[in-house]
Structure 1
Amino acid sequence: MDRRSQRALLLVLFFGVAVILYRSLGVTDHIRQRGGRYKVAPDDHTSLQLDPRKLNPANSTLGFGAVLAVSREGSPRRESLLLASNITEIDITIPVQPKWTDEDVNKLRADRDSRISKGSALAWLGHLNALRWFLSTDLESVMILEDDVDWDIHLRTVQIPTAAAAIRQLVLDKTSPEGNLAHVPKENNFWGNISTWDILYLGHCGDIFRPSSWTSQVPRVLYPDSTLPPRREMHPYTQKFLNSIAVPEDTRMIHQSIFPLCTFGFAITRNAALRLLTDIAHKEAEGGTMAYDVRVLEGCRDLGLRCWSANPELFHHMDMESEIALATHPEVGQGGSGGENQEKAGVDDKGRLKTLRAGAAPNIACGARSKSFYTTDPRTLEYLREQVGRQGKCLKDIEEPGSKVVPDEDRYEGPGDPRLYR
């Protein structure tokens, strides 16, 4: 064999050994690019076969110490929020907010190059108030909702139990972080060992990222969820995103957060709440921060918070009048959060998914805050609690497209009967 052939053989052997070592170290990400677009190999996914019938419904606080709502005194959103919580049997606590002053807003602003509007600052202060309420108790975790969010009627009975099972699977082999914790929680609970996570983004306006970020190094669990809306009825951006990373139809996933926008509904532990209040989100970052949720995202992405996202989300905001916009520009009356542009699929100027139609929340199949469920009659409320909340029947008014009359034996005929249809 001449010298040139020997050199070629050595090069082949060298590259062969290099490839074997590369794969054995587990650094391949299995992301394959085809036709200029990234696709994720199916074997990248860790699938969890869950039978919701074998899982007990969550308790009235969804497995957390409490469910809090950030809502100012006199908010017009409260009535429908509390009615939905009553129908789905979720206990919501609303911490009392003080009347915020201009001095409070100015203390929150960055010392230089502040970018936050007055409305966003007031919303930020409301969130900090909820965190202080949490730390004034002996609770280990809370779920914090914004008062304009909607959720599916199957949230407590199906969606939360399956999401919690996925979280337990993800943190099963994880231990507490090194170092001293301000609070040492119990080893195990409904949401796994909560010393192993900081924030659970169960509600957001899109943890959407480039498929090239979806490598095998991102921990995740996928599981079937028949309560999701059909893919074709989801927000177009969500459809495109899920298809781009090869998530099957009728499948939800829990994954390490990558770019979670909005704090519509997120769970938090005591240690994480303390960090937000004293280190991360106690005020606007120097150089400016557009909103509280952006600062929390930065805490997850850049500052060491251990965050997980449900995708698609379990909570999303409805098309309601923007209190942030009204607080910032009180001279401008609004009939919704987007007017004619709301009919166009897309995102707002901050990258958040917009609602597509009035009174609806993206990616929620049967919202608990549907106008069809409005009632002030106690007997009608009990009927809704049984039929909608416990049995999961998505009742609709007869005027709604595709509705069917409820059989006579199922229809409530007492005082205040809202003539519900499904």
Structure 2
Amino acid sequence: MAALRQSPRLIVVAIAAFSFVACFLIFTPRSTYSNPHSIGHSASRVPPASSLGKTDRVFDKEYKGNSSPADINRVTNETLGFEKIFVVGLPERTDKRDAITLTSSLTGFRVEWVNGVKGETVPDKAVPFAADRKKLWETNLGSWRGHMNAVRKIVESDLSSALIMEDDMDWDVRLKPQLERVAQGARALLSSASRPNSPYGDDWDLMWLGHCGEVFPETLDENIEKPDDDPSIEYMSRKFVIEKDATVPPKDRVTGLVNFGNYPEYTRWVHITGAPICTFAYALSQRGARKVLFDLSVDHLTGPFDNALAGLCRRAVSTWGIEDPAMAGDRGLDAKCISVTPPIFFHHKARGLINGDSDIQTVKDGQIREKGVTENIVWSARNNIKNLIMGTRIESQYE
């Protein structure tokens, strides 16, 4: 203390050091891998969720990650840790192509386009077994075929993995640090390899990164009555919890099927898939793409694409963790699916004519939206395109 009293400069240095440590502890999100029987802390580290300054653009293509183990940082490459990124959209929607191309470039990754399909161009002979096109909207049939074309590309090109997204997607300008967390979670839930080929691990079939809403699998009707000591319940209830995540909206603004009010504010989960709605953005491994192409095209199709894809995951989840085949019953394709809740991709409602939002649903012509909006995204990349180009302050949707 005597030395500090004699040297004001030391006092300043000490205060600055204390302030830095305090800010780091406050703003760095913590990860917890949990199930009903054990709780532990992730040994991995990622950059603070609140580290974006006034003109800081470190999360674009120049950002190389800050995680341990270092191989997780592969999620920051130009394909976000996958081999390819496909965007499905009708060729005539050049407005959406312009926006996706610009936004992805500014946030440091590149996409390839897969042409969407109009349902009326799908002949009856090409409609899968069990699908009733009279009950499906033609637009739903077209959506299914467009996604199948993207899935087929994964199979025919023998890609180890690919991300597929729809053409009206938006994401946070901090997408790459978010994906570092997702990779940690996916590996904690499923991967057993110390250095997997994929930064997300090698034991997953499907990762649901963008959806309208999702539930935890233990809350599904077929699982809720199972006893707590059922091995499948223990398995499906495990979650990788990301706490104090500044990229999660405030509790009263986040949307979805989970009752977020029952959990601490600014929480995100990487968890076993329950029953998500909408296929905004999802990743498939090669094995997963083969399962999807078989289950939703070659073998049968039971309804709209998103419901059918969720059904593939849901049929498998109730028997996960059961090693005895006799106990497991009909496990089907045993798809291993992971979801992120709240999602990190969501559809953007652009400024302009509201009837341009969707090519599946239509609304009354003439209605105008004065400002674009995206649910569940704090620092919307779409709403910050000009700021990203000009290097000016990134704006939150919730300030």
Bin of the TM-score, shorter chain as denominator length: 0.5 to 0.7
1:135 aligns with 2:155: yes
1:309 aligns with 2:339: yes
Match of 2:145 in 1: 125
Q: Kindly indicate whether the alpha-carbon contact (under 8 Å) linking 1:105 and 1:121 is maintained by their aligned counterparts in 2.
A: no
1:88 aligns with 2:95: no
Q: Kindly indicate whether the alpha-carbon contact (under 8 Å) linking 1:71 and 1:146 is maintained by their aligned counterparts in 2.
A: yes
In 2 relative to 1, CA 159–113 (structure 1 residues): closer, same or farther, beyond 3 Å?
Answer: same
Quote the offset at 1:148 in angstroms. Answer: 1.0
Query: Aligned partners of 2:240 and 2:265: how far apart in 1?
Result: 15
Write the deviation string for residues 201-229 of structure 1: whole angstroms up to 9, x where unpaired. 11111112587458644221112322222
Match of 1:272 in 2: 288
1:295 aligns with 2:295: no
Secondary structure in 2 aligned to 1:86? helix
TM-score, reference length from structure 1: 0.63
Percent sequence identity over aligned pairs: 26
Match of 1:325 in 2: 361
Match of 2:276 in 1: 260
TM-score, reference length from structure 2: 0.66
1:250 aligns with 2:266: yes
Match of 1:368 in 2: 381
Segments of 5+ residues of structure 1 without an aligned counterpart are 1-39, 176-185, 327-331, 341-356, 375-379, 388-392, 403-422
Quote the offset at 1:96 in angstroms. Answer: 4.1
In 2 relative to 1, CA 106–368 (structure 1 residues): closer, same or farther, beyond 3 Å?
Answer: farther
Query: Partner letter of residue 77 of structure 2?
Result: N
Query: Aligned partners of 2:287 and 2:172: how far apart in 1?
Result: 30
Number of residues of Structure 1 aligned to a counterpart in Structure 2: 304
Query: Aligned partners of 1:120 and 1:98: how far apart in 2?
Result: 10
Query: Aligned partners of 2:209 and 2:347: how far apart in 1?
Result: 12
Query: Aligned partners of 2:131 and 2:160: how far apart in 1?
Result: 36
Quote the offset at 1:89 in angstroms. Answer: 1.3
Name which one, 1 or 2, has greater alpha-carbon Rg: 1
Query: Aligned partners of 2:340 and 2:118: how far apart in 1?
Result: 34
Alignment of 1:7-406 (within 5 A): 47-48=41-42, 51-53=45-47, 54-55=66-67, 56=73, 58-75=76-93, 76-96=95-115, 101-104=120-123, 107-108=126-127, 110-111=129-130, 113-114=132-133, 115-156=135-176, 158-173=177-192, 187-192=196-201, 194=202, 196-208=203-215, 212=219, 216-217=234-235, 218-224=237-243, 225-235=245-255, 237=256, 241-244=259-262, 246=263, 248-282=264-298, 285=301, 288-289=302-303, 291-302=304-315, 303=332, 304-319=334-349, 321-326=357-362, 334=365, 359-370=372-383, 372-374=384-386, 382-384=389-391, 393-395=393-395
CA RMSD, 1 decimal: 3.4
Secondary structure in 2 aligned to 1:233? coil
Query: Aligned partners of 2:388 and 2:143: how far apart in 1?
Result: 31
In 2 relative to 1, CA 361–99 (structure 1 residues): closer, same or farther, beyond 3 Å?
Answer: closer
In 2 relative to 1, CA 373–188 (structure 1 residues): closer, same or farther, beyond 3 Å?
Answer: closer
Segments of 5+ residues of structure 2 without an aligned counterpart are 1-33, 48-65, 68-72, 225-232, 316-331, 350-355
